[in-house]
Homo-oligomer: A and B are copies of this chain.
Amino acid sequence: MNAENDVKNELGLVHVYTGNGKGKTTAALGLSLRALGGGLSVAMVQFMKPDQGSGEYVMAKKLDNFTLMPLGLPHLVDPKNITDEDRKAAHDALLIVKEMLYSGRYDLFIIDEINVAMGWKLIDVSNVIDILKKRPKNIEVVLTGRYAPDEIIEFADLVTEMKCIKHPYDKGIGPRKCIES
């Protein structure tokens, strides 16, 4: 309980939230809320997500020191049919990450769904690690998304797997598998 409650003690670490369960992006949003309350500056950039109009985008506009930036194309990426456009968008997103990360403007820097972008080979893992290695000190970095590659697990300081134990039933069809949350 203690470690979880003091983001300031953990500045400079790289966290990973991965796995097939719910709570990866939401845990990063919760860290944001806590960090903002502690007077820190927070950015969350999002690979492969457009602005879906959900609550966090509304709140980001209201809250000082919280930058939320969806960098996905309007369509979802289909892992069975990855296009050059998808790769270009992810590549461009990584350039934006680099620029924002190196600006020193943020204390907590969240890169949402980047694990998926690496897992699906939209961007290169070694490139990401290289960018992270050269970041300014004292920035807490959080990488979210399923399919975190082994190299990222190895590189990170703190890794949590969100594991789906149970998922709501689809009416009349029986239990949904733990694949959609």
Main SS class of interface, A: mixed
Q: In chain B, what residue has the closest Cβ to A56?
A: B34
**Contacting pair B22 A4 (CB below 8 A):** yes
A90 within 8 A of B: no
**Segment of A98-106, A129-137, A163-171 engaged in the interface with chain B:** A163-171
Asked if A59 CB lies within 8 Å of chain B CBs, one says yes
Q: A180 at the A/B interface (Cβ < 8 Å)?
A: yes
Q: How large is the interface on A (under 10, 10 to 19, 20 to 34, 35 or more residues)?
A: 35 or more
The answer to whether the Cβ of A2 comes within 8 Å of any Cβ in the partner chain is yes
Contacts of A19 in B (CB 8 A): 163
The 9 closest A-B pairs by CB, nearest first: A37-B55, A29-B30, A26-B30, A37-B58, A23-B27, A30-B30, A34-B55, A21-B160, A159-B166
